[in-house]
């Protein structure tokens, strides 16, 4: 499912106009993005939580050429699946 399908499903299920559904989806993912940029934690009960994890620099290898490369330090949002979602996904 992509963003457009998500908007159209929300429009039908919540009886919204397409513009309203698009706005809800936009506000949701923009809020998460802004929190990541601020380094703020995100906690959506039942779905998931995120925190920004800092990774140190390390020496990696290009798997194609075997060449050594230095990977600079980086930050990534770390996803943790919520309890409800975890239980519903697993058989």
By CB under 8 A, name the one of 18, 29, 62, 63 that touches another protein: 29
For β-strands 48-55 and 68-71, DSSP reports them as unpaired
Query: How far is 17 from 11, CA to CA, in rounded Å?
Result: 6
By CB under 8 A, name the one of 63, 66, 68, 89 that touches another protein: 89
Q: How far is CA 86 from the centre of its chain?
A: 16
Residue 27 binding another protein, by CB under 8 A: yes
Secondary structure letter of residue 72 according to DSSP: P
**How many residues at the interface with another protein, by CB under 8 A?**
47
SS3 assignment, position 82:
coil
Where along the sequence are the contacts to another protein (CB under 8 A)?
Answer: 1-3, 6, 9-10, 13-14, 16, 20, 23-25, 27-29, 31-33, 35-37, 40-50, 52, 74-77, 79, 81, 84-86, 88-91
């Amino acid at each position: 499912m992509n963003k457009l399908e998500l908007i159209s499903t929300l429009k039908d299920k919540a009886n919204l106009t397409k513009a309203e559904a698009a706005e809800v989806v936009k506000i949701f993912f923009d809020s998460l993005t802004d929190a990541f940029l601020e380094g703020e934690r995100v906690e959506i009960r039942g779905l998931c939580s995120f925190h920004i994890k800092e990774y140190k620099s390390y020496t990696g290898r290009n798997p194609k050429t075997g060449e050594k490369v230095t990977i600079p330090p980086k930050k990534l949002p770390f996803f943790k699946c919520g309890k409800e979602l975890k239980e519903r996904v697993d058989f």
